[in-house]
Structure 1
Amino acid sequence: MSTPLLRVENLTGGYGPVPVLHEVSFDVPSGTIAAVVGANGAGKTTLLRALSGMLPAVQGSISVSGSPVLGVPTEKLVHHGVAHVPEGRGVIGELTVEENLRLGGLWRKDRADTKRAIAEMYEMFEPLARRRNSSGHQLSGGERQMLAIGRALVARPSLLLLDEPSLGLAPRIVDLIMTVLRDLRDRTGLTVVLVEQNVHSALPIADQAIVLALGRIVVATSAAELVMDSDFRTAYLGF
C-alpha cells in the first residue's frame, strides 16, 4: 500500500492547557479531497491550524509524503508542499492582485514557472484578471477569497489546507471555487483538506468525509456514503 500524502496520528492539541483535539487520526491519499465537516465548535479550524503549525500539539504526529512535519515552522511548510488558506482570506489590502499573487511564488527559484502559475490563476479565476491592478481593499469578498486561494496555488503545493472558503459568499462564487478545486484534483493531482460548514457544497466534490464532534473523529468514510446515511447526517450535520 502506498504512503498517503497526509498522515495524521493521535494528534492532540489546542489553544491552552485543555486540548481541543483528542487523538485525531486519519490519512488523505494523494490526489483526493477530504472534507472535514461538523457542527460549530467541533474543532475543524483548530485541526487545520494544527496541521499548518499555527498551534502546538501536545502529542501525535503529522507527516506529508512520508516526511514528519510536526513542529516545522509554518513559514517552512511551503518547502514541504503545504499551503494553508485560513478563514478570513488574509489578502494584503495595500497590494494589488498581481502583487499578492507574486507573493505566493516569492520563495520559488523557478521564476518562469511562477509566471506561468500566475497566468493560470487568471484563467481559473477570471474576475481576478479584470482586477489585476486593483488593490486588495477594492475587491469584493468573493474576489478576495479567489485571490487568497490563487496566491496559495502559485506556490504549486501538493497539499492545500482550505478553511471555510464559502463563508459569506454568493452561491455562484462558491460554485466556482468548488469547481476549481475539483478540476485541480482531477487535472494536477492536488490533494485538498477542505474544512466546510457548507456540507452541501463540500461533499459533492469530496472523495472522503471526516466528521468531527467535540474534537474527536466520529466517522471517516467516503463522501458518497455519508451523503447516503440520512440518520448520521441528521445526528451530526443537521440535514
Structure 2
Amino acid sequence: MSDLLTLSGVSAGYGAIPVLHDINLTVAAGSIAAVVGANGAGKTTLLRTIMGQIRPTAGSIRVDGTDLAAVKVEDMVRHGVALVPEGRGVITELTVDENLRLGGLWRRNSAESARTLAQVYELFEPLQKRRTSAGHQLSGGERQMLAIGRALMAQPKLLMLDEPSLGLAPRITAQILALLAQLRDETGLTVLLIEQNVRSALSISDHGVVLNLGRVVASRPAEELASDTELRHTYLGF
C-alpha cells in the first residue's frame, strides 16, 4: 500500500511561537490514521499546516506525490485535500442542500456533482429528510453529518477531521466513526483523524500517531498503541 500523505521534517507555528517540531508522518492510501494526544499537543496546528492555513517553517508536505508548498489554501480541494474543522463549519443561514452543493461548487461537471450529492444523501439519511432545513435548525449530530457530507462533495483523496465527536452524544459519535470506517472500506478514502475519544478513534484506525508538545512520540499500528498501557497512561490519560 503506497503512502498518500507524507510529511518530512515539518516544523510550524504561529509567528515567532513554534508549535510543531520536525514532524515525520505518513498515511497510507485507503487507510485511517488517528492523531491523538493531550490538549496543546499541536494536533489542530498539524491539520492547519497540511491544509496550508499555516505555512511550515521547515520540511515538506506531499499528497499523492504533489508538493503542497506552493498550493494556495483555496486550491487545496483541487489537489484532493478536504478539512472538516473543529466546530463543524456549517453555514447556518443556508439549507442542507445549499451547504452540500457549495462543497461541490468548483466541479464543472454537473452530472458528476449530482451523482455525488445523491451518494452523500444515501450515506446520511437524516440529511435527506432535512434537505430544505436551514443549518441552524439541525441537531449537533446532523450538523456534523452535513460538514462531512459537504467535504465529501469535493470527492477528496484525503479527508481530514478535527474533533468530529466534540459535543456529540456517544451514540452519534459511534455512528460518525463507523461511517468513516465504511468510507475507507467501500471507497478507499484516506482519512486523517483528530479525535478526543482516543479509544474509539484507535478502534477504527489502521495507524495511530501520538503527539506531545508538538513532537511525534509514537507512530505505530493503532492496535499496538491501544494495547500499550505505559504509553496510554503517560500521554493519553487512560
Q: How does the TM-score come out when normalised to structure 2? A: 0.98
Residues 35-114 of structure 1 aligned to structure 2 (within 5 Å): 35-114=34-113
Structure 2: tracts of 5 or more residues without a match: none
Deviation digits for residues 4-42 of structure 1 (CA, Å, limit 9, x no counterpart): 100001110111212100000111110000000000000
**Which blocks of at least 5 consecutive residues in structure 1 are unaligned?**
none
Q: What letter corresponds to residue 58 of structure 1 in structure 2?
A: T
Q: Deviations over 1:25-79 (max 9, x none)?
A: 1111100000000000000000000000111211110000011012411110111
User: Which AA in structure 2 matches 1:110?
Assistant: N
Q: Where does residue 219 of structure 2 map in the other structure?
A: 220
**Alpha-carbon distance in structure 2 between the residues aligned to 1:227 and 1:3:** 24
* 2: CA distance, partners of 1:228 / 1:94: 45
Structure 2 residue 163 is matched with structure 1 residue 164 = yes
1:56/1:71 contact within 8 Å kept: no
Show structure 1 runs of 4+ deviating over 4 A: none
What is the aligned partner in structure 1 of residue 117 from structure 2? 118
**Aligned alpha-carbon RMSD (Å):** 1.0
Structure-2 residue corresponding to 1:206: 205
Letter paired with 2:237: G
1:3 Cα deviation from its structure 2 partner: 4.5
Match of 2:31, as an amino acid?
T
Q: Deviations over 1:75-122 (max 9, x none)?
A: 101111000111011111111000000011101122112111111111
Identity %: 61
Give the equivalent residue in structure 1 for 2:147: 148
- TM-score norm. by structure 1 comes to 0.97
Q: Deviations over 1:143-183 (max 9, x none)?
A: 11110000000111010011000000011111111111001
Count of aligned positions:
238
Instruction: Give the match's secondary structure for 1:134.
Output: coil
Q: Which amino acid aligns with 2:89?
A: G
Aligned partner of 2:6 in structure 1 is 7
Please tell me the residue identity of whatever aligns with 1:201.
Answer: S
In structure 2, how many angstroms separate the alpha carbons of the residues matched to 1:4 and 1:46?
A: 21
Looking at structure 2, the residues matched to 208 and 71 of structure 1 have their Cα atoms a distance apart, in angstroms, of 28
SS in 2 for 1:60: strand
